[in-house]
Structure 1
């Protein structure tokens, strides 16, 4: 699966002060690249009410990705779980 990273995702990730997440996020990125479809990754769950928008929990943080085609995902946001509800409403 082709994986693209938005500028907002990169900014969100740089603002996180938890160094233990670096390895976990790298593993997730690698599993996304190796997967043929988003359904092949069990931790990725579809967000109700939003077409083609998925989320994945990594510790206390949520990764939000948007499926643009069957083999492409754009990683949009990487936020603390307390901030996610405000952002998810924008994707609906």
Structure 2
């Protein structure tokens, strides 16, 4: 499903020229939320320490900042992109 979403974003970006809108996708990593901590408890922190290159869970505010960047004029020349806000988990 992740590959399908990525392909969809790329295709929409190609087709968005006439209407002048941008299409991007934000891929967050493990994030410190009540739901995750309720489900995984302290194991969530141990998981992050072991496998996330930055060694910790993201704070929800960090993911929000990445989303705000994509929504802002600061990313006005960004389209068809996938922004990984995952502490290096996906690519490392």
TM-score normalised according to structure 2 size: 0.30
Structure with the higher helix share, 1 or 2: 2
TM-score normalised according to structure 1 size: 0.30
> Which has the bigger relative contact order, CA under 8 A and spacing at least 6?
2
